[in-house]
Amino acid sequence: MLFFWGLLIFTLFPVAMERGSTSHIKKHHQQPRSQDIKQKRPESKRSDLTKTHLTKSEQLLRIEDHDFAMRPGFGGPAVSVGIDVQVESIDSISEVDMDFTMTLYLRHYWKDSRLAFPSSNNRSMTFDGRLVKKIWVPDVFFVHSKSSFIHDTTMENIMLRVYPDGNILYSLRTTVTAMCSMDFSSFPLDTQNCSLELESYAYNEKDLMLHWRNEKEPLKTDEQILLAQFFIQEFRESSGLAFYSSTGWYNRLFINFILRRHIFFFLLQTYFPTMLMVMLSWVSFWIDRRAVPARVSLGITIVLTMSTIITGVNASMPRVSYVKAVDIYLWVSFLFVFLSIIEYAAVNYLTTIEERKKMKQREKFSDSFRLNQTQTMAFDGCYHDSQLDVSDYGEARLSVANTEARERVSCSNPDGQQLRRKKSIKGNVTAVMIKNNHVIDTYSRVLFPTAFILFNFIYWCLFS
C-alpha cells in the first residue's frame, strides 16, 4: 500500500512542476507585450491623424510649416491684392428699402511665397473651399451691405488655384444686398446712381494694398442683364481711400452703375388715368346748370378716383419728406378736379340769386298786369294779344304772359281771327338752352383745357 502511494506521488509531481513553470513563463511574457502595445498606440494615433488632416497636395504645399494666421511678408511692405469682378445679375431694386441685390463673381489675386511648390511642368493646383480655411486669404467685405451669402449648390461656390511660384487665385460666387441712397425728387422720371464698395476689414493700406487687377477691363457684366423698371445706362469702376479715426486709411474699390427708370409703366398706370379724370371733370361744364345731382355726383366720383390713384402711388414709395415729380402732377390734376366742383358751386349760387331776382320781378309784373287786364278786355270776354304791348316788361314778363295765355281758353275775335304766339317752338328751345347756360360755364369750357395743356407742356419740359 505504501509502495502504491509512493509510486503515484513520484509520477504526478514532475507533471505539476512542469505546468507551474509553463504558466510562470506565460505570465512573464504577457506583461512586456501589453506594455509594448501601450507604447505603440500613440504612434498609430499620430499616423492616423496625419493621414486624415493632411493630403498629399497639402504636404506638398508645406502647410504645417508656416503660420498662415499672419499675412504674407509680415513686417515688410504691404501685400498687393488685385480684384476683378464679373456681375452676373442685378436681382432686385427696392425703392421702399432703398437697396439693391446683386449676384457676382469676386476674384482675388495675390502672391504668397509660402505656398510655392516645385513643379516640373509648371502646372497649377486647384482646390475647393476646404483649403481656404487653412491658409491666409484677404478679408474683403462689402461696405454698406445689409446681407450677403456665398452660394452652396451643390457645393460651396469657392475656387482656390495655387501656382508653382506662389501666385494665388481665389474666386467665389456671392449674392449681396447693399444700400443705395436714392433721390426721388424727379420720380418717376429719375436716374439713380448706386455703387457697391469693397474694402479690407482688418488690414489698412500699410498692410494690404487693394486695387483693380486689370486696368483695361476689371469689371465685366453680362449683356443679358434686364430689369423690369430700369435701364442700365453705365457700369464703371473706381477706387479711393476711406479714413477711420481709430485705424487709419484703407483702400476702397467702387462698382458704380447708373439706372434710368422706364416711364411707360407709369404712363399707363398713373399719368393717363389722371389725364382722363381731369378731362372727365370738364363734362360738367356742358351739363345743365339746373341738374344739381348729375354735376355734384360726377365731381365727387372723380375726386374719389383721384384719391385712390394718389394713395396707390404713395403706397409703393418710401415716406420721404420732399415733393416728388409725380406728386406735383397728381396734386395739380386733383386741383383741376376740385376747381371744377368749386366752379359749379359758384354757378349754382349765382343762379339762385338770379332766380330770386326774377321772382321779385314776376311779383311786380303780376300786379301791373292785372291792371292792364281790365283795360284790354273786350265785351266778348276774351283777351286780345294784338291789343297788349308786353315788350316793355322784359323776358320775365313775356314768359309769364305766355304761360297765362296757354292756360286760358282760346276764343276768336269778332272777325274769326285767333290769338297767335309771338315765338315758335324752335325759337323757345334755343332760347331756353342759351338762358340755362351760365357765363361761368362758357368761360370754363375754354379756360380749364387751356390751363391744363399749358401745365402739361411745362411739366414734361422740366422733368423729361
Pick the CATH number of 56-261 from 3.30.1360.70, 2.70.170.10, 2.40.10.10, 2.60.200.30: 2.70.170.10
Predicted local distance difference test score (pLDDT) of residue 162: 92
The x, y and z cell numbers of residue 128, run together, are 475647393
**C-alpha distance across the termini of the chain, in Å:** 139
Q: What is the pLDDT of residues 325-371, one digit of tens each?
A: 999 999 999 999 999 999 999 998 888 888 888 888 877 777 665 55
Q: Which of 281-295, 348-362, 421-435 has the lowest mean pLDDT?
A: 421-435
Q: CA–CA separation, 329 vs 271, rounded Å?
A: 8
Q: CA–CA separation, 460 vs 464, rounded Å?
A: 5
pLDDT exceeds cutoff 70 at 410: no
Provide the Cα torsion 408, 409, 415, 421; round to 10°: 50
Share of the chain above pLDDT 90, in %: 47
Predicted local distance difference test score (pLDDT) of residue 317: 83
Once rounded to an integer, what is the mean pLDDT over residues 245-266?
A: 94
Q: CA–CA separation, 118 vs 133, rounded Å?
A: 23
Nearest one of 302, 274, 221, 290 to 433, comparing CA atoms: 290
Contact call for residues 239 and 254 (beta carbons, < 8 A)? yes
pLDDT exceeds cutoff 60 at 304: yes
Query: DSSP letters along 143-165, please?
Result: ETEEEEEE--SSS--EEEEE-TT
Once rounded to an integer, what is the mean pLDDT over residues 412-418?
A: 46
Predicted local distance difference test score (pLDDT) of residue 145: 95
pLDDT exceeds cutoff 60 at 282: yes
Predicted local distance difference test score (pLDDT) of residue 416: 46
CA distances 249 to 12, 55, 71, 120, 201, Å, are 98, 40, 18, 42, 11
Predicted local distance difference test score (pLDDT) of residue 289: 83
Each residue of 427-446: b (16+ CB within 10 Å) or e? eeeeeeeeeebbebbeebee
For residues 372 and 68, the model is more confident at: 68
Each residue of 405-421: b (16+ CB within 10 Å) or e? eeeeeeeeeeeeeebee
The distance from CA 385 to its chain's CA centroid, rounded to whole angstroms, is 79
For residues 385 and 229, the model is more confident at: 229
Domain layout of the chain by residue ranges: 56-261, 265-362+445-463
The reply to whether omega before 103 is within 30° of 0 (cis) is no
Nearest one of 392, 40, 69 to 203, comparing CA atoms: 69
The residues facing 134 across adjacent strands are: none
Predicted local distance difference test score (pLDDT) of residue 70: 87
Q: What is the pLDDT of residues 12-53, one digit of tens each?
A: 555 455 555 444 444 444 444 444 444 444 444 444 443 445
Once rounded to an integer, what is the mean pLDDT over residues 197-216?
A: 92
Confidence band for 104, pLDDT divided at 50, 70 and 90: very high
Q: What is the pLDDT of residues 178-187, one digit of tens each?
A: 999 999 999 9
Once rounded to an integer, what is the mean pLDDT over residues 130-143?
A: 91
The x, y and z cell numbers of residue 160, run together, are 482656390
Predicted local distance difference test score (pLDDT) of residue 187: 92
Once rounded to an integer, what is the mean pLDDT over residues 305-319?
A: 89
Confidence band for 307, pLDDT divided at 50, 70 and 90: very high
Q: Which CATH architecture has domain 265-362+445-463?
A: Up-down Bundle (1.20)
